[in-house]
């Protein structure tokens, strides 16, 4: 566990006027971002990566060697010794503690914000890649992946700010019980059962980038893959061209940051943490070429 803050920092950052909030575009980022709105009044945007920001609050957004940040408050709970996060301490404040399963729990504790325990437990479980043992975790995650492209992030963030927990849960419950959710779950099961093998115990699922049901099923399949494989990989494509993807593992002995670094060094945009990461593929790379590149990456790093 690593801490990059103290009580003096807490007093200082509370007096800084931040102009923008960038939060990771996932469930943990949604809930963490909503909580931050109780402390800071600033426009919020939910993003998958960030290249530059000034006088902004950045919540769990993966950083890379190209991220240019100045006078920002960076809040995270993964790999606090990440070179990108350590270097970001110059000119920025960093709150990082690996002892928290989620950034939502970290923000709740650090800023002493009231959140129901069942909400915190559910988000923690999702961040750990375990949704089958917690009913609320399953509801939130299935509702989330079923609604890719339709999620009113800013509206739900305001509800989180206001503590309208019943309203929030009902929204996710409705989506998790929809016909779309049934389609997502069936397709995720099929994709998991038919996943390709990249290398031993690294399994791959393809999905159509522009199809929200396929995208949701792939995200759910990524959870399922980790139950039986060391690493799960999902890869989005449009026709024959690869576009983007994610990698994830529950195995503590596997460090996916090494794979992410390899992808960056070979021309892909990539970011993430030890247990999960995302990547964007340069234009013109075919699915076949992308799969071979991923196979080389895992073969080199996990040999």
**For the segment 24-45, what is each residue's pLDDT rounded down to a tens digit?**
999 999 999 999 999 999 999 9
Q: How many domains, in total, are found in the chain? A: 2
Where in the sequence is the domain holding 104, given as residue range(s)? 7-174
Among 6, 32, 36, 9, which residue's Cα sits nearest to residue 20?
36
Confidence of residue 7 (pLDDT cuts 50, 70, 90): very low
Length of the chain: 303
- Confidence at residue 70, expressed as pLDDT on a 0 to 100 scale: 87
Which residue, of 174, 199, 216, is where some domain finishes? Answer: 174
> Residue 2: inside a domain, yes or no?
no
pLDDT value of residue 129: 82
Q: Are residues 284 and 155 in the same domain?
A: no
DSSP three-state, residue 68: strand
User: If 0-12 CB within 10 Å is exposed, 13-18 middle and 19+ buried, where does residue 159 land?
Assistant: middle
| C-alpha separations of 138 from 57, 155, 211 in Å | 29, 21, 22
**Among residues 124, 139, 174, which one ends one of the domains?**
174
**Residue 252: Cβ-neighbour burial (10 angstroms; 0-12, 13-18, 19+):** exposed
Is residue 49 a contact partner of residue 269, using CB atoms and an 8 Å limit? yes
Do 53 and 108 fall into the same domain?
yes
pTM (2 d.p.): 0.86
Asked if 65 and 82 count as a contact pair (C-beta separation under 8 A), the reply is no
Residue 9 has pLDDT above 70, yes or no: no
Whether the Cβ atoms of residue 45 and residue 105 lie closer than 8 Å to each other: no
Residue 222 has pLDDT above 60, yes or no: yes
Task: Tell me, yes or no, whether 49 and 196 share the same domain.
Answer: no
CATH number at residue 262: 3.10.310.30
Question: Which whole number is the average pLDDT over 241-266?
Answer: 92
Asked whether residue 1 is domain-assigned, the answer is: no
According to DSSP, the residues that pair with 20 across neighbouring strands are 56
Q: What is the pLDDT of residue 80?
A: 75
Distance CA 164, CA 175 (A): 17
* pLDDT over 70 (residue 83): no
Residue 106's closest CA among 136, 134, 139, 73? 73
């Amino acid at each position: 566990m690593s801490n990059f803050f103290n009580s003096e920092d807490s007093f200082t950052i509370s007096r800084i006027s931040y102009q923008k909030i960038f939060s990771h575009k996932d469930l943990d980022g949604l809930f963490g971002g909503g909580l931050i709105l109780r402390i800071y009044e600033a426009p919020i945007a939910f993003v998958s990566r960030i290249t530059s920001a000034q006088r902004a609050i950045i919540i769990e957004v993966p950083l890379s060697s190209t991220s240019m940040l100045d006078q920002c408050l960076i809040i995270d709970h993964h790999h606090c010794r990440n070179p990108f996060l350590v270097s970001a301490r110059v000119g920025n404040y960093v709150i990082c503690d690996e002892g928290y399963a989620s950034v939502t729990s970290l923000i709740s504790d650090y800023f002493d914000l009231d959140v129901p325990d069942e909400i915190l437990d559910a988000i923690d479980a999702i961040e750990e890649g375990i949704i089958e043992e917690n009913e609320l975790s399953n509801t939130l995650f299935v509702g989330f992946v079923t609604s890719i492209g339709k999620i009113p992030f800013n509206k739900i963030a305001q509800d989180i700010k206001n503590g309208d927990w019943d309203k929030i849960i009902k929204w996710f419950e409705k989506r998790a019980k929809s016909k779309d959710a049934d389609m997502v779950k069936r397709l995720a099961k099929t994709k998991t059962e038919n996943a390709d093998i990249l290398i031993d115990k690294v399994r791959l699922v393809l999905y159509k980038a522009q199809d929200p049901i396929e995208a949701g099923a792939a995200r759910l399949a990524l959870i399922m893959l980790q139950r039986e494989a060391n690493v799960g990989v999902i890869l989005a494509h449009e026709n024959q061209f690869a576009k983007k993807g994610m990698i994830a593992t529950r195995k503590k002995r596997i460090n996916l940051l090494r794979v992410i670094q390899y992808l960056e060094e070979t021309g892909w945009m990539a970011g993430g943490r030890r247990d999960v990461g995302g990547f964007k593929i340069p234009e013109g790379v075919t699915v076949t070429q992308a799969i071979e590149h991923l196979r080389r990456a895992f073969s080199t790093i996990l040999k």
